[in-house]
Structures are given as C-alpha cells and as structure tokens.
Amino acid sequence: MRINKYLAQCGIASRRDCDKFVSEGRITINGRKAELGDDVVEGDVVKFDGKAVSIKKNEYYILHKPKGYLCTVSDDQGRKTVMDILGNGVGRVYPVGRLDYESEGLLILTTDGELAQHLTHPSNEVPKTYVVKVEGRLTENDLNPIRSGIEIEGGYVTKKCRAHIIETNKDYTRVELTLREGKNREIRKMFAAIGREVTLLKRTKVGELTLRGIDRGSFRKLTPAEVEYLKSI
C-alpha cells in the first residue's frame, strides 16, 4: 500500500497532506525516512513524528451543528467546538469541511482522511445544499447572478449553482441553494454581492444525505450504507 494511503487510513490526514508530511521528513518506515511513492507492507513499522502509527477501524458520524460552535478540534480562546457536542466517548475524529461560527446544519466527522479528501476536493464537485435566509423580498430574477456565477469579495468568480426561492415576504426571503464548491464564507459573500445580508445559513444535505431525525446539537453514527454512499458521490 502506498505510504500516503496508509497514513490516510491511519487517520493522520488526507493523502495530499500526508504527501507533505513525507516530503518534510516526518515519516519513517523501519527507521529510515520515507519517500514519496514508498510502499508499506505487512510487518513494516511506520512512525509519524517519532510515534508508531497503524491502520485503525475508521469512525464516521453525522452531527447537527448549532450556531455558536466552531468546526475545529480545539480553540485557544476557549470557545465551544463541535467536539464539545460529541463528548469523551467518541474517538479522535475530525470535521469534514467547515461551517462558520454563525452557521448551522449537517456536519460529517470522521477519522477517514480519504473520505474527507473525497468530499472536500473541488474536482469531485460533491453537491452540498443549504437553506439561506436573507433580509427583504427577493425574486427569482434576483438570483440569476448567483446561479450563473458571481464575482465575490477578493475577485473570485463563483461556479454555477442551483438556487430557488422557497419562501418570501416583505421582511425576509428563504432560498435553497446547492453548491459544488466550498470557499470560505462563500454563500455570505455571494448574497453580499447582490446587496443582501444573510441572517441564517443552514446546511441541510450533502449529496442526498440529510439531517432527518437528528435534532440540533445531536449526532449519530453513519450506517455502513451511508458511508459507502458518501464514498461514491
């Protein structure tokens, strides 16, 4: 098995990040520094920063993130993270992608670096669906710049996406939006580009996986069928 795949299955990081660790000389195989493209065979002793690592059975969770939690393992300012929701009974899993502090919704956490890479790499274009609430009334025509790709803060032009209004009145509009990319605070910036402030942002789906039956602030293990589905999209 290639060294980057082996490390990813150990839960170290994605294959790409594991390649970086190999290049930095942080990985050894049987006492010698590993090189990119090395294979690991049965009986080899692999170490990361001097500590032996081995393939473990991966863990997979789906969590309904509330607002006011960070999608990190820890925070040096003492703010709440999604790990506080999981508690001590769960192993060392990592969030897949990000939902910002003020956003809520579906979050996957796992030890499987390969799956995390698959779900977040832009080339795979894994669809993620959100419900967005903005101030004031919008029309379907107002969403056309967002659908076709719009220049946001920093000069980046977003990719085409699906968007439609699910509720509107004089005070607010709710929009369902499906993206196949995930830039930092991208949705908030997209609506800012058409002069609207996002007041609520919730991820409701990854592919066809939903939060059905999972209350805000709760989580459960993914089923084997759900894991295989996520690997396939």
Active-site annotation, residues: 100
Q: Which residue, 159, 163, 162, 72, is CA-closest to 123?
A: 159
Residue 44's CB: how many other CB atoms inside 10 A? Answer: 14
Q: Alpha carbon 214 to chain centroid distance? A: 18
DSSP 190: H
How many Å apart are CA 48 and CA 88, to the nearest integer? 24
- Torsion angle, CA of 118/23/13/9, rounded to 10 degrees? 80
Q: Which two tokens stand for residue 186?
A: 């991208």
How many Å apart are CA 165 and CA 208, to the nearest integer? 20
- The length of the chain is 233
Describe the strand order of the beta sheet including 27-29 as a list of residue ranges.
Answer: 32-33, 27-29, 46-48, 51-53
Q: Which residue, 131, 135, 76, is CA-closest to 104?
A: 131
Residue 23's CB: how many other CB atoms inside 10 A? Answer: 12
